[in-house]
Amino acid sequence: MTDKLTDCPLCNQLGAVYTTPINEFHSSYLCLGCGFCSNDLMREGEFDFEQYESELPQLYIDAKRVDSDGKVWYPNTVNIPEKGTVFLNGPSVEESKWSAIRSVKLTKEEKKNPKFKGKTHKSDSNTLQDFDGDYLDALEYIGISL
């Protein structure tokens, strides 16, 4: 079982979906074009979306999409403590954008603060930036290049 690139059923970008086998029967999917993710278990009528969505922000629930095979796709969030976070952001799906915020190393003083126990980095709110629909640009902004 190896990873491969496939076409996106949502944004129709060719070779944009990074497909990773979960086991011999199922795979997970992440479109590097539109930034949505899914897996073979997340199908309408076969998955407990109520439980899953109880952990999601309302924007992500509103933004979910269903492909022609019945797979449900949600916006992806990337959080790499040493680099930063990429997430869908906005007051509504129509006004949403991919946003990214970079991480910075904690100062010696901050490391002594109990709220940062065991951490080496924190989000730097001064680096928050929006990207008009371009998920890859947001990833590159926090230092992830593909």
pLDDT-based confidence at residue 132 (cuts at 50, 70, 90): confident
The amino acid present at 29, given as its one-letter code, is Y
On whether the pTM is more than 0.85, the answer is yes
Residue 22's closest CA among 47, 3, 44, 48? 3
Mean pLDDT on 20-29:
93
Write down the pLDDT at residue 2.
73
Higher pLDDT, 75 or 146: 75
Torsion of CA 76, 79, 83, 84, to 10 degrees: 80
H helix count then E strand count, the chain: 4, 11
Residue 10 and residue 76 in contact, taking contact as beta carbons nearer than 8 Å: no
Residue among 66, 76, 67, 62 at smallest CA distance from 34: 76
Average pLDDT for 89-108: 96
